Structure 1
Amino acid sequence: MKFEKASTGHKGLDNIINYLRIGDNVVWQVDAIEDYIEYAKTFANVSLKEHKKVIYMRFAAHPPILENQDVFKTYVLDPSVGFESFTTEVHRIITKEGLEAFYIFDCLSNLLEAWATDLMIGNFFQVTCPYLFQMETIAYFAIIRGSHSFETVARIRETTQLLLDLYNIQDKRYIHPLKVWNRYSSTMFLPHIERNEDMIPVTSSAEAATLFKYLPKHGFGNVKRHLDYWDKLFMDAENLLYNKDSHVEASKYDMQKMIEQLCKFMLSREKRVLELTTKYFTLEDLLSIKARLIGSGYIGGKAVGMLLARKILHNDPRINWDDYLEPHDSFYIGSDVFYTYLVQNGWWNLRVEQKSKEGYFKAAEVLREKMKHGKFTESIKEQFLQMLEYFGQSPIIVRSSSLLEDGFGNAFAGKYESVFCVNQGTPVERYKQFEAALKTVYSSALNKDALEYRLKRGLDQADEQMAILVQRVSGDYHKKYFFPFLGGVGFSYNSYVWKEDLKPDAGMIRLVLGLGTAAVNRVEGDYPRVAALDQPMVQPLGNMEDIKKYSQHKVDVLNLEKNKLETVSLNKLMWEKTGIPMELIGILDYETNRKIREYNIKEQEAWILTYEKLFKDTEFIPIMQNILKTLETAYSYPVDIEFTVNCLSDNSLKINLVQCRPLQTKGVGGKIDIPEDLDEKTLLFATKGHFMGGSINQIIKRIIYIDPKAYSNLSVQDKYALARLIGVLNKLSADQQDAPTMLVVPGRIGSSTVSLGLPVTFSEISNMSIICETAYEIMGMVPDLSFGSHFFQDLVEAGIFYVAIFPNSEETLFNIDFFENAANDLKDILPKETRFENVLKVIDTQSQIQIKADLKTQNLKCYRIV
């Protein structure tokens, strides 16, 4: 670092501070922007005379500091894009301009209009100032006195090289250096009065009395100065609410403007979400949310969706929803805490690197690991502790609630983590468990699937702050276990109809006993109950043997003794007599119970979960229909919800609505005419039902086929290697429109058990147009029709058509000869992967293959065009 001197352009100021040094960041604390402008212009002009490159960073609404575009280089920035995007762009500019550029920044206090919190201004300065220092620059900044908390000013003072107080009192200007790094004189830190070009230390009692008489009005005596801008905003909201104006119309206008402002700063930046929140939330609602908010910033999409859905229902006059809905008990960790965690642990440069094209995935791996081991500030830790004291030893769940999550067009379903904290043990143990869960969720913002998802949707440069939703787990104690009676997901539009007479717009649900994890995820060898809400008793299965086989056999619970999430068998729960009202959701398994009696096993009963009595004899189905349609009407868009159901002592049901988001769907579309008289030799496959993603009429240009027998003979290591190879081919199939590709695999896509299917991640199949899971029952590889799971929602959202093929079914035709005899282009595309030639085929169809499916008739045919 050079210690070359530079002039401020003001002789007296140069004398006070012994000139500027290369690397100095200079922060001016002023009462009016006009005072800062004059000194900034003086510095810019003298720097130009000395042949320095002067850069003006323009982002505020105040008058421009530098106006001559011919001599000053100006960058116009938009703070409303968010802290991360704004800060990253500033760093990009500094990098581009290189060493020894001189900078004039607009007033930092104006960033409050976009970000609302002092915390983020402190974060911005704390990451930008050291980089400017490293680039051997000199930079001028300003803040408005009294607009920031002592904590923010302290962070700025700690980071900057120079902090100067500038007062204008009765047309006399005073400069009071508060910090001048690496320089000292006997009068340097006294206030100085400006007289022409000189700066005279204030030593006379008369001058000092005039100055210090003024100070309490703007500094030490003003209690509000201790508060963050964020806190002042909510104080104003409380005053508005509890001290209403006598003029009713004016008061309504002021309150609506405050609602809009608070929604903009705390709930969302997305236009359609903001329209809904400002329509339904009252000022009381928003202040109630603030009372449960830790830190500042947004509460994130998942929290907003949950609260908004509840508010929409409670505003519905047709039903008294208090009779049916369980109150939520939630806290919110603001999105600003996430960025502050990165900044104060010294990881911001790594975050900037991760935003680059080269570091997008590579730097993410490093940062993700670091985020699991960072530290929180003491003030934030204290708020965490108070929240945990509130919950006591009740189980809680720490859920992702990022800015982009659960919005219109980008659901991020299942992309980020949610972690159960069973919350048993001493306060110290419970805090450690909570903090580990929080760091797990934070680090999941950088997992590969999430990064791939953002990249594919053009969101890789968007702000994606991770807010957190902390909820009391809905449920009850069942001896040593804690879990809700039922957990489930609901869809107001059923993209997965499996019979001709089912109505897609009637909606559907997936339901499980216990925690709802198995309702949202595809689970190996276990099946939730899927119900179309117009015909809930109709299952996509045949006989009782199938109903038993494809039902739930395992239950996710919280084990209070082991202090962890656990999956136990349904039979074990029955053995332990946990008090579940099984007659409401199941029927006795007479065949298994007969065997139990033959073995003389006492006090054990086997059940098959069918939910018949729940659907027929309770209000559950009408309630779910009402919830989904009411929310869909309010959103003017199909919705997807997560919920729990608890059965009270009087056998009444209470539903806890824990999540709501816009549902990405594919409609029925127009009727697809499917040829009836095709020669079987031209068919690749045909099926009745078992497909998802709406109707389709698509030419296929490439087929990727995995031979089931050859795959089953691979080692476990080679099966994983083959999955990675599919990921490579997926990247080569990046354009779904120009090169539509069909992937045909045995068993289950994305299986974590390699004997049941191909262990790919979603990012490794994200560019496919069509995915086919084929049954190879000899080896136990059977497609898993997990209608409505996160996996299948990913397919719908990515525009991927899905079909399950059961070759042994009477309603299915599968032309194995076509796939076995087709030419293999693998060695031409990936010459180094010929070891998999007997397992994997890449078939160039010459655009002679077409697939057609009609959602209404449930007919599907894939055939050669002749």
Structure 2
Amino acid sequence: MAYSSHVSTGWESLDAIIDHLRTGDNVVWQVDSIDDYQRVVTPFVNAALARNDRVVYMRFGRHTALVEERPDLAVYHLQTENSFESFSVQVHNIITREGRDVCYVFDSLSDLLHLWATDRMIGDFFFVTCPYLFQLNTIAYFALLRNHHSYKSIARIRETTQVLIDVHNYKGQICVHPIKVEHRYSPTMFFPHIKEKDALAPVINSVEATRLFSHLSRSSTAGAQRHLDYWDRLFMEARTLLESDAGPAERQDMVQQLSRLMLTRNKRMLALIREYFSLEDLLQIKERMIGTGFIGGKSVGMLLARNILAREEGFDWQGVLEHHDSFYIGSDVFYSFIVQNGWWQTFMAHKTGEGYFDRAKELKEKIPHGSFPDEIVERLTLMLEYFGQSPIIVRSSSLLEDAFGSAFAGKYDSFFCVNQGSPEKRYREFEGAMLRVFESTMGEDALAYRRQRGLDRSDEQMALLVQRVSGAYHKSYFFPELAGVGLSRNPFVWKKGMDPGAGMARLVFGLGTRAVNRVENDYPRIVAMDDPLVKPLAGTEDIRRFSQRFVDLLNLEENRLETVSLEGLLEKEVPGRIDLVGVRDTEAAQRLREMGRPEKAHWILTFDPFLSQTPFVTTMRRLLSRLETVYESPVDVEFTVNFAENQAMQVNLVQCRPFQGLDDSVGRRIPETIDRRDTVLRVAGNFMGGAVWRPISRIILVDPEPYVALSMSEKYSVARLVGKLNRLIKDREAQATLLMGPGRWGTHSPAMGVPVSFAEINQVSAIAEISYQSGSLIPDLSFGTHFFHDLIETGIFYLAVYPEDPEVVFNPEWIYALPNQLPALVPEAARFSHVVNVVDTVGTGLVLQSDMVTQVAACYLAPKAG
């Protein structure tokens, strides 16, 4: 571009009216048709090319091309099948590559409505793109079709752009009316101008001006609907269609259109939505939606599962399922939040390879200090008025969450709002919870998860699901009777003869947080649906030791989530169906009598009465089987259980997602004649990962005894060391690694195991949790938890090793006999060589194998062929 600040539009008469264009100008043309826009684009492009300026055409509209392709014109055909983020990133990257002093022509922005269905996002796109173009000293042409957008959207674009010009057709003539021309002025600049031959003459005469504007006002369709966003007008059309005599096919077309704008673009999910959602369903969702965009994977999964069950004949799901009155905060709210707080450039830098983690950290620090626009604040306030002082939970519901192959289990946060206090206080706490969920999108574990699955460049907007907490008031506490996780396939069969297809559940008393997280020094009840009263650990002392002893609940007086001991809760005489979830600990009562101490009730939460005296098992088996059948995939659900006044059991289905299936094929058999000295470990049951046969190239063993002797800070150092060793694994298939250690991997407390994050073990092929009784380090059969989902999705085989079990073989001496490679691999960590053993086993014939027939898994030296 010529470096003069004055640039021609290619139309000499228009140049005279607006005193030429200026470098940095964004020029918005408001037109009646694309033909009118093309009339102003053509001379601009021709003049720019004649000056030897660089001209770029951004092609994305459904309308005819504005300019013909030619060698001296750069044309970019933009991908439009994805959302605001993908489109904006494409444009941003092109502008960055093209650099300074470029002339741009964009297709009509109005064509983006068929992609995003909202004026707000078009305004956001312009708001982030226009300043960047200005910064690079460019000139850019944009168009908007008149009467297609809300007044508010046009006002926002007018405020952002440097030049805004109306183009009308008047009695077969072109009328050009400058509305805004920044930093320029002439006595007739803002009059309408009629084209006469090649010249534009101002309409100054009052008679002609009145006649002109009367004509324009009659031809305009501006009315009450122009006060609404296109999104609202679209749903008004859908409501009108529903109330009309339109046939099923026409309604189904509208369901498909709205589903792609509001529910998902995932083809597998859309196929299910077409079958199980009606137009009425979508309009009901819209009524409870704040903002625009998608409601996110978690919301879709919950609603889809409920609809699947409601449409099943032969069972009264309406009588069993607790109703819900959830609200949905649309995914566009997240993008608008980033845009309007001025962080879009930082967000763009985060989407690059080099800025992926660093700029995310910067955003993570900024997000808690952001603010929402007034209209969103107003809608949130009305929602809170609806809930009153009932406890609610703000749950993440991102676009990719709970999808086929990407559960994002535990990667994003959810927060309870106990919701007590003044309206102002309740709003502050709710907004704080929203911001913390948004902040979790930039968490290191979530970022690593996305990158490992090749999703780091994918759109990942954060929508929110706001649910009423299921439960009841118990004096100053609020919690459900039970909560848990259900899986339609039992991945961890611990007893021969169990049917994996019957499913399993993980039950807790109180809030379900203890079911989905690996909690410290506490154990939920694991239930095999085909044999619900059988426990993985059967001795009385084991049942007492490995049972739930703490309860998560909402403290209404202190307005917070709290963990209390079961004993302490019962001492306050909190009512509840304790007789259904527990049995009296008569041995503990006897010990108190023998010690001469006052007797008090002691309970062990076995859940046996609940499992044997209620229809829970048959109901849950039916629920899981039905959902798996329709999904054509194993599913995982989260639920609560309460009892109505008539004692009828009510199940609240709060979440449903597919999870990656396990390979339960028979596979090859483990040889029966393997020498014990050639066996590193062997377990009966207590493994997860289906049928595997995998050569092992490396073993990393955190030795239980010296680990227990370390200080707290040293244990954390060992966890970080494991992370470094994990990052040295460049190819999980070529360098299959078995990671072994005491207690629970991924625990928060070093007293329970090795406190690694999942990102610090995500490259290994198998992990073993070793029981170390003297250190109270016990594996956790964690299926159903977020940790479990990480293992399944990453394809990490899992074993729980109990050396004290006579059927278990654990032979660490085999490992000790090999050279420890730790000092060579991580020299600065050599001081931990007595704790962390790293041995290379390439060429030894070491394999990890599981036998689904005998339910045995072993790591052993395979006999050489021949």
Q: Contact 2:660–2:792 (CA<8 Å) still a contact in 1?
A: yes
CA-to-aligned-CA distance 1:78-131 (integer Å, 9 cap, x gap): 222111111011111111011111111011010111111111111111001100
Cα distance in 2 for residues equivalent to 1:816 and 1:492: 36
Return the letter of the residue paired with 1:856. Answer: V
> Are 1:464 and 2:465 counterparts?
no
Question: 1:313 corresponds to which residue?
Answer: 309
Return the letter of the residue paired with 1:116. Answer: A
Question: 1:244 corresponds to which residue?
Answer: 245
TM-score by length of 1: 0.98
Work out the number of aligned pairs and report it: 861
Question: 1:860 corresponds to which residue?
Answer: 857
Q: Contact 1:5–1:22 (CA<8 Å) still a contact in 2?
A: yes
Residue of 757, 768, 772 corresponding to 1:772: 768
RMSD: 1.5
Question: 1:415 corresponds to which residue?
Answer: 411
Instruction: State the Cα distance separating 1:853 from its structure 2 match.
Output: 1.1
Cα distance in 2 for residues equivalent to 1:2 and 1:72: 19
Residue of 559, 580, 586 corresponding to 2:582: 586
Question: 1:213 corresponds to which residue?
Answer: 214
Question: 1:51 corresponds to which residue?
Answer: 52
Residue of 525, 528, 531 corresponding to 2:521: 525
Q: Contact 2:636–2:784 (CA<8 Å) still a contact in 1?
A: no
> Which range is displaced more, 353-362 or 773-782?
773-782
Cα distance in 2 for residues equivalent to 1:413 and 1:147: 41
Question: 1:504 corresponds to which residue?
Answer: 500
Return the letter of the residue paired with 2:25. Answer: D
SS of 1:851's equivalent in the other structure is strand
> After superposition, where does 1:281-296 map in structure 2 within 5 Å?
281-296=277-292
Pair 1:112–1:785, CA change in 2 (3 A) = same
Q: Contact 1:299–1:469 (CA<8 Å) still a contact in 2?
A: yes
Cα distance in 2 for residues equivalent to 1:553 and 1:3: 77
CA-to-aligned-CA distance 1:18-77 (integer Å, 9 cap, x gap): 101111100111110111012112111100000100001111111011212322111111
Cα distance in 1 for residues equivalent to 2:204 and 2:593: 101
Question: 1:139 corresponds to which residue?
Answer: 140
> After superposition, where does 1:63-74 map in structure 2 within 5 Å?
63-74=64-75
Return the letter of the residue paired with 1:188. Answer: M
Question: 2:838 corresponds to which residue?
Answer: 842
Structure 1 stretches of 5 or more lacking a match?
246-250
Return the letter of the residue paired with 2:838. Answer: V
Cα distance in 2 for residues equivalent to 1:840 and 1:69: 65
> Are 1:166 and 2:162 counterparts?
no
Question: 2:99 corresponds to which residue?
Answer: 98
Cα distance in 2 for residues equivalent to 1:627 and 1:54: 60
> Which range is displaced more, 157-166 or 664-673?
664-673
Instruction: State the Cα distance separating 1:837 from its structure 2 match.
Output: 2.2
> After superposition, where does 1:370-519 map in structure 2 within 5 Å?
370-519=366-515
Q: Contact 2:162–2:180 (CA<8 Å) still a contact in 1?
A: yes
Q: Contact 1:146–1:218 (CA<8 Å) still a contact in 2?
A: no
> After superposition, where does 1:333-732 map in structure 2 within 5 Å?
333-597=329-593, 604-732=600-728
Instruction: State the Cα distance separating 1:772 from its structure 2 match.
Output: 1.0
CA-to-aligned-CA distance 1:341-366 (integer Å, 9 cap, x gap): 00000000110010000110111111
Question: 1:248 corresponds to which residue?
Answer: none
Instruction: State the Cα distance separating 1:609 from its structure 2 match.
Output: 1.3
Q: Contact 1:495–1:667 (CA<8 Å) still a contact in 2?
A: no
> Which range is displaced more, 658-667 or 210-219?
210-219
Instruction: State the Cα distance separating 1:486 from its structure 2 match.
Output: 0.5
Cα distance in 1 for residues equivalent to 2:132 and 2:596: 76
CA-to-aligned-CA distance 1:358-397 (integer Å, 9 cap, x gap): 1101111110111111000011000000000000000000
Cα distance in 2 for residues equivalent to 1:377 and 1:319: 46
Structure 2 stretches of 5 or more lacking a match?
none
Pair 1:650–1:261, CA change in 2 (3 A) = same
> Are 1:329 and 2:325 counterparts?
yes
Instruction: State the Cα distance separating 1:808 from its structure 2 match.
Output: 1.4
Cα distance in 2 for residues equivalent to 1:136 and 1:603: 83
Return the letter of the residue paired with 1:253. Answer: A
Q: Contact 1:219–1:225 (CA<8 Å) still a contact in 2?
A: no
> Which range is displaced more, 26-35 or 497-506?
497-506
Instruction: State the Cα distance separating 1:602 from its structure 2 match.
Output: 6.0
Cα distance in 1 for residues equivalent to 2:215 and 2:620: 64
Question: 1:85 corresponds to which residue?
Answer: 86
SS of 2:629's equivalent in the other structure is helix
SS of 2:441's equivalent in the other structure is helix
> Are 1:198 and 2:199 counterparts?
yes
CA-to-aligned-CA distance 1:576-611 (integer Å, 9 cap, x gap): 111111221211100112234456766831111112
Question: 2:176 corresponds to which residue?
Answer: 175
Instruction: State the Cα distance separating 1:792 from its structure 2 match.
Output: 1.3
Cα distance in 1 for residues equivalent to 2:22 and 2:4: 6
Instruction: State the Cα distance separating 1:243 from its structure 2 match.
Output: 2.2
Instruction: State the Cα distance separating 1:534 from its structure 2 match.
Output: 1.0
Return the letter of the residue paired with 1:176. Answer: H
SS of 1:446's equivalent in the other structure is coil
Question: Percent identity among equivalent residues?
Answer: 50
SS of 1:8's equivalent in the other structure is coil
SS of 2:820's equivalent in the other structure is coil
> Which range is displaced more, 215-224 or 560-569?
215-224
Pair 1:45–1:293, CA change in 2 (3 A) = same
> Which range is displaced more, 722-731 or 10-19?
722-731
Cα distance in 2 for residues equivalent to 1:259 and 1:272: 16
Cα distance in 1 for residues equivalent to 2:44 and 2:595: 94
Q: Contact 1:330–1:472 (CA<8 Å) still a contact in 2?
A: yes
Pair 1:212–1:699, CA change in 2 (3 A) = same
Q: Contact 2:492–2:685 (CA<8 Å) still a contact in 1?
A: no
Q: Contact 1:28–1:36 (CA<8 Å) still a contact in 2?
A: yes
> Which range is displaced more, 98-107 or 777-786?
777-786
Cα distance in 2 for residues equivalent to 1:400 and 1:601: 49
Instruction: State the Cα distance separating 1:494 from its structure 2 match.
Output: 1.3
> Are 1:129 and 2:126 counterparts?
no
Q: Contact 2:297–2:403 (CA<8 Å) still a contact in 1?
A: yes
Question: 2:150 corresponds to which residue?
Answer: 149
SS of 1:81's equivalent in the other structure is coil
Question: 1:223 corresponds to which residue?
Answer: 224
Instruction: State the Cα distance separating 1:409 from its structure 2 match.
Output: 1.2
Instruction: State the Cα distance separating 1:714 from its structure 2 match.
Output: 2.6
Pair 1:481–1:856, CA change in 2 (3 A) = farther
> Which range is displaced more, 584-593 or 24-33?
584-593
Pair 1:340–1:777, CA change in 2 (3 A) = same
Q: Contact 1:397–1:419 (CA<8 Å) still a contact in 2?
A: yes
Cα distance in 1 for residues equivalent to 2:615 and 2:29: 66
CA-to-aligned-CA distance 1:254-295 (integer Å, 9 cap, x gap): 111111111111000101111111211111111110000001
Return the letter of the residue paired with 1:48. Answer: L
Cα distance in 2 for residues equivalent to 1:466 and 1:204: 55
Question: 2:29 corresponds to which residue?
Answer: 28
Cα distance in 1 for residues equivalent to 2:475 and 2:289: 33
Return the letter of the residue paired with 1:11. Answer: E
SS of 1:174's equivalent in the other structure is strand
Q: Contact 2:447–2:456 (CA<8 Å) still a contact in 1?
A: yes
Cα distance in 1 for residues equivalent to 2:171 and 2:406: 56
CA-to-aligned-CA distance 1:707-753 (integer Å, 9 cap, x gap): 22332233322222221222122122132111111111122111111
Instruction: State the Cα distance separating 1:218 from its structure 2 match.
Output: 5.2
